[in-house]
Amino acid sequence: MINGRSNPGSKKKSAGVIIILMAVALPALLAIVGLAVDSARAYGVKATLSAAVDAASLAAARAISDGEVAAIRAANKFFAANYPAGHFDSTPGQPRISFGYSAEGDISINVSATANMPTTFLRIVGKDEMDIGSTAQTIRRPVDLSLVVDNTTSLTRGGDVTQDVIDRSKDFVGKFGELFDRIALVKYAFGAEVPVGFNNDRGFNKATVESEIDAFEFGSPGADQYTNASEGMWRAIDALTTVNNPASLRVIVFFTDGAPNTFASSFSFNGGVADRVGAIRSASGSSGRPYGLWEADSVAQLSPAPWNFGNKLNDRLTGLPQYYNAHDPNASDILVINPSHPRRPVFDYDPSNDSAGDLYRKINRISRNLPEDMAEYARQKGIFVMTLGLGRKLTQPTGPDNDRGEEMLMRMANDPRMLDIPALASDFRPDQPQGIYCHAVDKDALAPCFADMMAVIIRLTL
């Protein structure tokens, strides 16, 4: 300003400087804006790519039991399903899939992929496209599985479902990997047998297991029903706790169509008859004379004379054993006689005060206590227990205490749904492995129940 008047030349010079600065700064400003916009787009592509890679890795882990080719096919399918076509104008490449095998049997599935995204504003500074990458790894742990299947004659009554049990059991076994999982097969009725034990090394022979499932024995429709669930559970636990190089994931899948009424131990008798291991059974109804002995290591074999007492058993027993000792006379970790049992207290049998009804109640209670106690024993050792019950009888009160079989099966599995049932909530053990119980109301529900079991096991392996 000169003499109070502005200088027009000075204003023109300032405007010119601003224009020059704008011209110099504009590319940088556009680059910053472009970086922000294209970075946001790239972030969206990255998130979607990562989700697709994760899905592919998990899918491959679930399918690896059928071999690497099946795993790769599953990975590609799930990658494509989770990466929308044209997402931010990007083009994904084919995912790269590799497998690693550890000495412990773990399988690592590694999936990586890149996506090419054309830029928008960054083209101004010569950046026409961006390559975005993502990787994922899933570890598939091997599993040692004891599959315990009811072979009682009740499965032949009211509509024979034995073939359905056979077929669904074979389908279930077929979901496991022959090269790295291991399967032991247990069948039980009067006693229990292990037609297929664990291999010393990882893997199992699927054809052998399926052949033994085809050979299941369910007896004749007119035969009496004996359900020695505890013997099946003992065999399952024994297989898992004595196997060579056990897997980090050990599972029992236990199937039955009714509440147990039979148990095995070492018994003493009067009349000069030597002690013997065998199985004794309460009646099928709400009362009656107990029967025995049957061979504990056989699905359906009466003990030889003089131990085949039949319904005279209550006259020959000198009492009940203090511990479950069908396999180890010195066993003392799973109680049989337990007056303080929270649901079914059992006092020793006094033959001098002979009562068939009294012995019936004691045998029936022990038969139901033992599977629950054994399941908890297994869970304390880190073993997951899954239970599958077939038929409506499991929802009906039976036995001297009007127990429902499904409640026993829920306790065995330590199913967290017990928390929603007032009568069972206090039996849930949050510090122990949590399995599931599935009730198949009829044969058509067997496949969905086995699928539920498989889904939980697969989740545990990952």
| Single-letter amino acid, residue 102 | S
Angstrom distances, CA of residue 322 to CA of 102, 214, 255, 283, 374: 45, 38, 28, 22, 16
Lowest-confidence region among 58-72, 257-271, 296-310, 328-342: 328-342
With bands split at pLDDT 50, 70 and 90, how would you rate the model's confidence at 337?
confident
Contacts of 395 (CB under 8 A, 6+ apart): 404, 405, 406, 439
8 Å CB contact between 106 and 99: no
Centre a 10 Å sphere on the Cβ of residue 462 and count the other Cβ atoms it contains: 13
Question: In this predicted structure, what is the pLDDT of residue 355?
Answer: 65
178 vs 170: CA distance, rounded Å:
13
Centre a 10 Å sphere on the Cβ of residue 79 and count the other Cβ atoms it contains: 25
The three-point CA angle 65-68-70 to 5° equals 70
Angstrom distances, CA of residue 265 to CA of 82, 295, 337, 398, 443: 56, 10, 12, 23, 33
| Single-letter amino acid, residue 367 | S
For 16-27, what is each residue's pLDDT tens digit? Answer: 555 665 555 556
231 vs 264: CA distance, rounded Å:
7
For 71-104, what is each residue's pLDDT tens digit? Answer: 999 999 999 999 999 899 999 999 999 999 887 7
The mean pLDDT value for 403-419 works out to 96
The yes or no reply on domain 143-461 and CATH 3.40.50.720 is no
Give the H/E segment covering residue 107: strand 107-118
The mean pLDDT value for 40-48 works out to 92
Query: Across-strand partners of 55?
Result: none
Strand spans (E) along 282-373: 291-294
232 vs 219: CA distance, rounded Å:
17
DSSP state of 158: S
Distinct helix (H) and strand (E) counts, the chain? 9, 15
Contacts of 156 (CB under 8 A, 6+ apart): 162, 218, 219, 220, 221
With bands split at pLDDT 50, 70 and 90, how would you rate the model's confidence at 374?
very high
* Structure-token pair, residue 149: 């299947």
8 Å CB contact between 387 and 379: no
Query: Given the DSSP bridges, would you call strands 192-196 and 182-188 parallel, antiparallel or unpaired?
Result: antiparallel
Question: In this predicted structure, what is the pLDDT of residue 105?
Answer: 78
Question: In this predicted structure, what is the pLDDT of residue 30?
Answer: 56
Question: In this predicted structure, what is the pLDDT of residue 3?
Answer: 55
418 vs 421: CA distance, rounded Å:
5
Domain segments of the chain as ranges: 8-139, 143-461
Query: Across-strand partners of 185?
Result: 147, 196
Angstrom distances, CA of residue 318 to CA of 190, 225, 362: 22, 25, 14
For 101-147, what is each residue's pLDDT tens digit? Answer: 887 778 999 999 999 999 887 777 678 889 999 999 999 999 999 99
Higher pLDDT, 319 or 351: 319
* Structure-token pair, residue 389: 């019950």
| Single-letter amino acid, residue 268 | S
353 vs 58: CA distance, rounded Å:
63
Report residue 267: phi and psi, to 5°.
-115, 155
DSSP state of 392: G
Q: Answer yes or no: is pLDDT of 10 > 60.
A: no
DSSP state of 353: G
Rg of the chain, C-alpha, whole Å: 33
Question: In this predicted structure, what is the pLDDT of residue 13?
Answer: 55
Q: Is 9 exposed, middle or buried (0-12, 13-18, 19+ CB in 10 A)?
A: exposed
Higher pLDDT, 14 or 77: 77
384 vs 248: CA distance, rounded Å:
11
DSSP state of 7: -
Which of 434, 436, 428, 432 is CA-nearest to residue 453? 436
Which of 115, 110, 113 is CA-nearest to residue 134? 113
For 238-294, what is each residue's pLDDT tens digit? Answer: 999 999 989 989 999 999 999 999 999 999 999 999 999 999 998 766 777 899 999
3-state secondary structure 404-434: EHHHHHHHHHCCHHHHHCCCCHHHCCCCCCC
Which of 396, 391, 347, 341 is CA-nearest to residue 370? 341
Q: Answer yes or no: is pLDDT of 335 > 70.
A: no
Mean pLDDT of the residues in the chain: 88
Question: In this predicted structure, what is the pLDDT of residue 219?
Answer: 75
